[in-house]
């Protein structure tokens, strides 16, 4: 199997069997309202960039959000970046996620999607997302925002990280996006599970865009230095 086939099979099989604390719900873009469209998008994306068996380095975000991977099935890729940066046509709906803007600024600075995705694979500590009722509808929640949720899905996280590493990804370093709770959780888990020799933390794109946008170029440079 090519790497693209392994990734697509992994995505299609994603399922949480553990009991999730109410009123939190699982966000699974591959089995949700737009699953047919998302499966078509991901097929095009992963065949375009991962149709080989070359080794890559693993980058892990937190978990999918509604406007990024929740809308496209591709971590840190909203529909705008899918069209403008990846040249994959899409007209069904339109999403904009600031984290996606930052990641594709990094990708462009690295040399473009072809060069970047030839060396890196982006996933998430939890490859499925979570939503909870808010004042005006369902809102994103990070897996670590609720300790009962974190505890419930830890076996799922361990299983899916190992499954992704078994694609043939490097076990030298895992880059984790989020220098706070996401890094703390994964670094501790790595000490127990030995996923990789080192967990390398980077500021989360959402943090950069929301709180440090004037210093965006500084953080892009930091990403590039860590990746080299």
| 178 vs 117: CA distance, rounded Å | 20
Q: Classify each residue of 23-35 as buried b or exposed e, where b means 16 or more C-beta atoms within 10 Å of its C-beta.
A: ebebbbbbeeebe
Instruction: Enumerate the domain spans of the chain.
Output: 3-227
CB-CB contact of 141 with 126 (8 Å): no
- What is the phi/psi pair of residue 51, to 5°? -85, 55
Low-confidence ranges of the chain (pLDDT < 50): none
- Classified as helix, coil or strand, 118 is coil
Res 128: pLDDT? 96
What are the residues whose beta carbons fall under 8 Å from the beta carbon of 94, sequence distance 6 or more? Answer: 79, 80
Res 34: pLDDT? 84
Per CATH, which fold does 3-227 belong to?
Uracil-DNA Glycosylase, subunit E (3.40.470)
| Sign, Cα dihedral of 24, 154, 28, 70 | positive
Res 71: pLDDT? 86
What are the residues whose beta carbons fall under 8 Å from the beta carbon of 11, sequence distance 6 or more? Answer: 30, 42, 73, 127
Starting at the edge strand found earlier in the chain, the sheet holding 129-134 runs 25-27, 129-134, 137-141
Res 144: pLDDT? 98
Looking up tokens 């996620």 gives 97
What are the residues whose beta carbons fall under 8 Å from the beta carbon of 201, sequence distance 6 or more? Answer: 176, 178, 179, 183, 187
CB-CB contact of 176 with 182 (8 Å): yes
Res 59: pLDDT? 98
| 1 vs 42: CA distance, rounded Å | 17
Q: Per residue in 167-217, pLDDT tens?
A: 999 999 999 999 999 999 999 999 999 999 999 999 999 999 999 999 999
Distances (CA, A) of 42 to 6, 35, 65: 12, 10, 16
Which H or E element spans position 186? helix 181-193
């Amino acid at each position: 199997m090519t790497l693209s086939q392994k990734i697509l099979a992994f995505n299609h099989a994603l399922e949480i069997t553990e009991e999730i604390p109410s009123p939190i719900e699982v966000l699974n873009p591959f089995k949700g309202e737009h699953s047919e469209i998302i499966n078509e998008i991901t097929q095009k994306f992963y065949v375009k960039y991962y149709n080989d068996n070359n080794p890559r380095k693993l980058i892990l975000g937190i978990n999918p959000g509604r406007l990024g991977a929740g809308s496209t099935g591709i971590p840190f890729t909203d529909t705008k970046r899918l069209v403008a940066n990846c040249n994959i046509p899409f007209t069904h709906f339109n999403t904009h996620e600031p984290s996606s803007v930052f990641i594709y600024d990094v990708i462009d600075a690295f040399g473009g999607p072809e060069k970047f995705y030839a060396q890196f694979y982006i996933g998430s500590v939890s490859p499925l997302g979570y939503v909870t009722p808010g004042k005006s509808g369902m809102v994103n929640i990070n897996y670590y925002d609720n300790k009962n949720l974190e505890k419930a899905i830890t076996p799922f996280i361990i299983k899916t990280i190992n499954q992704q590493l078994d694609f043939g990804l490097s076990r030298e370093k895992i880059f984790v996006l989020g220098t706070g709770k996401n890094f703390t959780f994964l670094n501790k888990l790595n000490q127990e599970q030995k996923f990789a020799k080192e967990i390398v933390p980077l500021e989360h794109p959402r943090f950069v865009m929301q709180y440090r946008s004037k210093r965006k170029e500084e953080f892009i440079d930091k990403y590039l230095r860590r990746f080299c």
